[in-house]
A and B are shown apart, each in its own frame.
Chain A
Amino acid sequence: MNVTQLSVFLENKPGRLQNTLRILYENNINIIALTISETSDYGVLRMIVNDPDKAQQVLKAENITSRMTDVLAIEIDDRPGSLYRVIDTFSRKDMNIEYMYAFPGKKDSKSVMIFRFDNIEAAKNALAAEGYTIVKKIDLIGE
């Protein structure tokens, strides 16, 4: 099972991020990981949240555009070279990463990286073949 990411469209101006975070807070949505990609006039806020369906629903009620996407969460060792080796796997298979970010919390001595691929299944197979652990939604959200 893949991890569901919720992406939100934000105009690049003061107060917009705050507004989205307020709505999530008021509806008791917890953000597990996030990254923002910005351009001069807009940004895309990408989040892993504990309840993406509810989050999308409450945002929509306040006219905020969002979208759910499957992303790949991978457990890697927290030591030099381990991210390099994951990326190396993708390079060898000629697979392009659309974007990626790190999950801030640690699981034991492991770190979690979030990857977005066009073809998530191919990426999953490539990693599984090399013995990586694909993190499941439940593991990440901790329920």
Chain B
Amino acid sequence: MIFNKEFELMPEKKMKELQLERIKRTVHHAYNNCPFYKKKYDAAGFHPDQLKTLGDLRRIPFQMKQEMRDNYPFGLFAVPLSKVVRVHSSSGTTGNATVVGYTKNDIDVFAEVVARSLAAAGADENDIVQVGFGYGLFTGGLGLHYGSERLGAMTVPISAGNTDRQLMLIKDYGTTVLVCTPSFALNIADYIEKKRPDYDIRATKLRIGVFGAEPWSESMRREIEARLGIKAYDIYGLSEVIGPGVSSECSEKSGLHVNEDHFYVEIIDPETGEVLPEGEKGEIVYTSLTKEAFPNIRYRSRDITRLYHDGCKCGRTLVKMDKVTGRSDDMLIIRGVNVFPSQIEDVLMAVEGTEPHYQIIVDRKNALDELEVMVEVNERLFSDEVKVLDAFKNRISDRFRSTIGISAKITLVEPMTIARSEGKAKRVIDRRKI
């Protein structure tokens, strides 16, 4: 089903015209209403009036995540706070977190693109959508919630976790669409196998899975589909741009259609910043076309993908992007939460008395991501009392939970046991096979 035929089926040429008109509006809006942009563009010798064609966009300097951090919390908003009706935020400490704001209209856009995504996965108003993304500062829960309501589906705001209850509601309510992270979907399959052999998932009405917030592979898709007896679709997005719904898979399950009437996309070489021709792989850069509170103008996502048109059988003319396969920075996505190694370092430094060598090990056990932080015990940290060492471990893990929002297993190890390459330790080992 196509939720919004006017835009999703719009001929390419007409789409380009619409995009140019909207880009002009967005850039003027940011320049006129947010002092940050005026200052930045003036310094770069750029004025919004110079935008005549889509190609002129290249004159505009990129928007970086660091700018969001530097202007924390609301410095990049282009509307008065009285017009902002919601914020979402990434995890992180002050100086590390990013905050995005939405006007009433922005929330409408968000709901629209999520509704399109659910429809593209085959859902409509007759469906019962169980939203197993976390509700809160994370864009996933509320984003899918509003989108599912916009679609007209019965929406079950169960939030993340609690596998037993997820299974109960799937059965009792007759849930037909499950939305969660792909690793949680696999966790559900494991749980049924090990703890609920009596539970027949195939006897339920569940038929569609919409999964996102984490990278996942074709082999994970096959496994989820086989074990849960459903069709699994990818939904992609990033909170800086809006949240899930920036792009999503259609019935063809090959590539994600970008909602390009709301988000203009470019692919650049992450090293040089040069725009690459359609079809080439590089970093995807976003310009929001309709957002008011927090406009994006050439936002560098660090996600690696490529863009292409393939005359998709679903009928949509929207440009497609590959599943995101990597990053041009060191960000990790752990249980759907974006984590930078520098944040982990901040936690360790903040815990009194630490300046240790550490190593982060990310692994996937029973389909769930696990984060282990190995900390070398130097003379300053060491105590002859186990309770002191355990208290140190607890302080680190408490701080992980409170600032990054994920739990981590802290393991104390002997000095020099963490491998060092050229004098510097290898900080992150990602053992997940995605």
Q: Do residues A64 and B386 form an inter-chain contact, with CB atoms below 8 A?
A: no
Q: Do residues A65 and B379 form an inter-chain contact, with CB atoms below 8 A?
A: yes
Instruction: Tell me, rounded to whole Å, the shortest Cβ–Cβ distance linking B126 to chain A.
Output: 51
Query: Known contacts A39-B390, A42-B389; is A16 also within 8 Å of B414 by CB?
Result: yes
Task: List 22 contacting pairs A-B, 8 Å CB cutoff, sorted by A.
Answer: A7-B382, A7-B384, A9-B377, A9-B382, A9-B412, A9-B414, A10-B414, A11-B417, A16-B414, A39-B389, A39-B390, A41-B411, A42-B413, A44-B389, A60-B379, A63-B414, A63-B415, A63-B416, A65-B414, A67-B379, A67-B382, A99-B385
Q: Do residues B414 and A44 form an inter-chain contact, with CB atoms below 8 A?
A: no
A-side residues, CB < 8 A to B, are 5, 7, 9-11, 16, 37, 39, 41-42, 44, 46, 60, 63-67, 69, 98-99, 116
- Number of A-B contacts defined by CB within 8 Å: 53
Q: Do residues B384 and A67 form an inter-chain contact, with CB atoms below 8 A?
A: yes
Q: Do residues A41 and B412 form an inter-chain contact, with CB atoms below 8 A?
A: yes
Chain B count of residues within 8 A CB distance of the other chain:
18
- Inter-chain CA distance A20–B263, complex, in Å, is 61
CB of B187 closer than 8 Å to a CB of A: no
Report the 8 A-B pairs with minimum CB-CB distance, sorted nearest first.
A7-B384, A63-B416, A63-B415, A65-B382, A9-B377, A69-B384, A42-B412, A9-B382
- Inter-chain CA distance A5–B385, complex, in Å, is 12
Chain B binding surface, main DSSP class: loop
Instruction: Tell me, rounded to whole Å, the shortest Cβ–Cβ distance linking A75 to chain B.
Output: 22
B412 contact set on A, CB distance < 8 A: 9, 11, 41-42
Q: Mark B368-403, 1 if CB is under 8 A from A, else 0.
A: 000000000111001111110110000000000000
B341-379 interface (Cβ within 8 A of A) = 377-379
Which of the listed residues A41, A64, A116 has the most CB atoms from chain B within 10 Å of its own CB?
Answer: A41
A20 (CB) vs chain B CBs: closest residue: B414
- Inter-chain CA distance A16–B377, complex, in Å, is 14
Q: Mark B192-225, 1 if CB is under 8 A from A, else 0.
A: 0000000000000000000000000000000000
A10 contact set on B, CB distance < 8 A: 414
A63 contact set on B, CB distance < 8 A: 414-416
Q: Do residues A116 and B415 form an inter-chain contact, with CB atoms below 8 A?
A: no
Q: Do residues A44 and B379 form an inter-chain contact, with CB atoms below 8 A?
A: no
Q: Do residues B382 and A66 form an inter-chain contact, with CB atoms below 8 A?
A: yes
Q: Do residues B411 and A46 form an inter-chain contact, with CB atoms below 8 A?
A: no
- Inter-chain CA distance A44–B417, complex, in Å, is 17
B384 contact set on A, CB distance < 8 A: 5, 7, 44, 46, 67, 69, 116
Instruction: Tell me, rounded to whole Å, the shortest Cβ–Cβ distance linking A23 to chain B.
Output: 13
A16 contact set on B, CB distance < 8 A: 414
Q: Do residues A67 and B383 form an inter-chain contact, with CB atoms below 8 A?
A: yes
- Taking a contact as CB atoms closer than 8 A, the residue among B387, B411, B415 that contacts A65 in the complex is B415
Q: Do residues B390 and A64 form an inter-chain contact, with CB atoms below 8 A?
A: no
